[in-house]
Chain A
C-alpha cells in the first residue's frame, strides 16, 4: 500500500509559470489537505476537501487552486508562481474531518523553488 503519493519531489520554477502539484492517496480517505511549511512557521493550510466534489479555503489560499474530482486525487495549482510561494508543500489525508478520524497522513512533500 503506497499511502499518499506526491509528485514531483522537487521543482525549480520560473516566476509567472503555472504549476500543478499532484497528490494521490489509496486509503479511500474522505478528507484531503494541502499545507505549506516554511522555516520557523507551523504548517499552514492552503486548501482542503472534506469529500470528493467539495473544496474549501484554508488559512493561506491566495494564489492557489484545487479540485477534487474523485476520492483519490487532489491536485494543487499555482496559476502564476511568485517567489513567496517557495516552500515545502505537503499533501495529507484523513478518514474524515472530525475527531480521531482526523488523524492526518502525509505525503513525502514537494520542495518548490520559485525564481
Chain B
C-alpha cells in the first residue's frame, strides 16, 4: 500500500489565519481526497483533488474556505482559510490507485484554533 505523509502532523493557530496542509505519496496515484474529522465524529469528505483541474467539493464545502491544489500525481495541498474555532478538526488525506482498489489514509493533521 502507499506510504502517505502529511505535514504538519499538528498545529495550533490563531483565528483569522490560514494554514496549508501537505500530502505527499511515495508513488503515483489516480485519486487523492481530503476528509475532515471533527472532535468525536466520523470522517466527512471535503473534496476530491483533481490533477490539473479544480477540485470537486462536497455539499457544504466551498473553494474559498478550503482551496485545494494537486500539481502532480503524488502531491496535494489543502488550505484551511480564515480559521475559526469551529475548524478545529483532524484533516486527512487519502489516496487511491483505481476505482476497485481500497483507499489508503495518512495519519492526518490535528488542527486547533484558538
Do the two chains belong together in a single complex? no
List A residues at the B interface (Cβ < 8 Å). none
